[in-house]
Structure formats: structure tokens, C-alpha cells
Amino acid sequence: MLINIKSRIKDYSIIIKKNSLRELSNLFSLDYKKVLIVTDDNIPLEYIEDVKSNFDYVNVLVLPHGENTKSIENYLKIQETLLNNNFSRKDLVIALGGGVIGDLVGFACSTYKRGIEYINIPTSSLSMIDSSIGGKTAINYKHYKNMIGSFYPAKGVLIDFSLLKSLPKRQLNNGLVEALKAGYIFDKTIIDEFKKEELDIESIIIKSIMVKKHFVENDEKEESIRKILNYGHTIGHALESIYGFSDKLYHGEAVGIGMMLINDDPLEVASFLKKLDIHFDEEIDAEQIIEFIKNDKKMHDEKIDLIKVDKKNGGYIDESISIEELKKIIVKEAHYVRYLR
């Protein structure tokens, strides 16, 4: 399956094909003298070897797994690896991993000699559904999520559903929360998928990609409607920061809680999260959440662009919410997290 994404920066393609890592070069017509694969220590060696088989000269950089890898230190490791091996702007970098690796590699590539091409091979449901598409790249700074970044689309994205077989169940479900978000904001048929006894993972991911395509093609640099993709993320990112980007709370899980707290039907959201076996046994501290939100990129004039959902029309941007009003909403709805215990 081929999905083309139009971009003001550069158009690119998403190719969806099972068991395709050894076909990477042919699928994207790649012809590079030097290639760097950046991956993490959770990625099976066989995946790395399959990607390496496409090229004659390959360097591999393996980084630790986890959200804390999206750091300035690892950004510099990539730059140093490229420089030490004399990579030029005509060479290629491959991001082989989840959203952390994709975001980090994309940002590193956007700044190396003012831009080197990269291919994104997402290995998690979260990165297939969301982060590998749309050109957003970033690293975290201190306790703040995605504070330093750029818009820099990949040359191409290869989605191979067979890679999901190595994913732990919690990680798989973590990514599916982003699909649930896509259902609420734009495509109600995705919500219908979550109501079924058994989830059709591949169908859900493809539908979610089409939702992402719609928003990024119409507002690539998040100046208007692309902000709707941040439904649940304002509170979600704050929760991730509070827990230090640790295994205590994954990105999708935090976004799910954020969605629940600002949805007109929080119990429905809670029921979907429980179906995905998402648990959370902490109390919500509104004051602590607000302190992190004050540095959110969507803040302006003491107000925040809060993404809400209307059951008829999907997601919309409410630009009138003050930080104090948001705090009141969180305090009022915080008790719903108890349904996730």
C-alpha cells in the first residue's frame, strides 16, 4: 500500500508492506554510498541486519531505549558519529525504532550540515500511527517535552506490520491510544473499531494514518487545524514530565488520561482505556500539571489553545481557556482517573 503525503517542505511516501525490511532499498530507490542506522537497545538484532543487507557501507549507532533518550547528549552523539565518519549531505540516515528514535533522528538530520536525508522505519504502534508522519522532530529539555525541534519530513516512511510482533502488549496498547484520539477528533469509524470484541490492529493503524495525512497536508506547521491532533496532549505531556518520562506512564497512556479529563463523556474514554488494559493508580495534582502547562507551546497571553471534542463535528480548538479555567476543569474531573485503578 502506498500513501503519498504532500508537503510544502518536500513530498514523501509512506509504504505499508509486511516483511519488507530487506526490500527497503528497492522500495524507495535508494542509492547511497554511506548509511547510518540509528536504533535502540530494544530493537531485535535481526531487524538491524535486515536493514543493513540493503547497503554496502553501513554504520550503526545503538542508543538506550526510553523517552529520556530524546536528549541533547544523544543528539550530539548522532552529530559526532556523522562527522567522525565523514558523512556528507548526500548520504543517508535511517531511524529504526519507535517515536523516540524517529523524533531524535529527524531533529539531528535537520541540523546536520543544514540537512541530511533520513528514512523513518517505525517499529511501534505509536510511531506507525503518529510520530513517523508529519515532519515534527524534537528532543526534550530538562523536564519539558519536545522543547527543541524542527519541521523536517523524512525522505520516506516504511511501515511493516510484522515488526509489531516483537512489541510488548503494553507498548502496543500505548500506541493505540493515539488511534483512539484520531477517532474522536475526525474519523468516528475508528471509535466503532474500538467497540468491537477483537481489535483489527492493521485497519485501525491505516485509518489513523489517513487522519494524520488530512491534518498535516492542510496545516503542516501547526498554525491552525493541525493543533487538533494535540487532543489530550496538553495534560498528557504535563503528566509525562511529572513522572520524569519514565515507565511509570507511557506517552499514549498519559494522552489517554488527558483525553478523559476534557471529554464530555469521560466514562466512555475510561472504558476504552480499560479495554486497552491501561492502569493508573495515582492521584491527579492539578497544581503540578498547570506548572508544566505554563511552558506549553500552545500558551499565549495567559490562555491556552485547548483541544476539545464535539460528538457531531469532532475536534475543535477552544482559544478562550485561561490557565485558571483549565486548572478548574482538571480539579473537577480528576476523580475519573480512579476508574483506571
143 is catalytic: no
For residues 188 and 175, the answer to whether their CB atoms sit within 8 Å is no
222 is catalytic: yes
212 is catalytic: yes
Which one is catalytic: 84, 86, 114, 165? Answer: 114
Q: Which residues pair with 59 in a beta bridge?
A: 36
Q: What are the strands of the beta sheet with 12-16, ordered from one edge? A: 2-5, 12-16, 156-159, 117-122, 92-97, 35-40, 58-63
230 is catalytic: yes
Which one is catalytic: 120, 233, 240, 253? Answer: 233
300 is catalytic: no
Which one is catalytic: 52, 70, 136, 145? Answer: 136
197 is catalytic: no
226 is catalytic: yes
Which one is catalytic: 230, 240, 253, 263? Answer: 230
Which one is catalytic: 155, 207, 226, 227? Answer: 226
Which one is catalytic: 145, 181, 227, 237? Answer: 237
279 is catalytic: no
Which one is catalytic: 67, 117, 178, 253? Answer: 178
Which one is catalytic: 220, 222, 240, 253? Answer: 222
For residues 239 and 248, the answer to whether their CB atoms sit within 8 Å is no
Task: Report how far apart, in Å, the C-alpha atoms of 246 and of each of 15, 113, 242 are.
Answer: 32, 33, 9
Return the active site residues: 114, 136, 178, 212, 222, 226, 230, 233, 237, 251
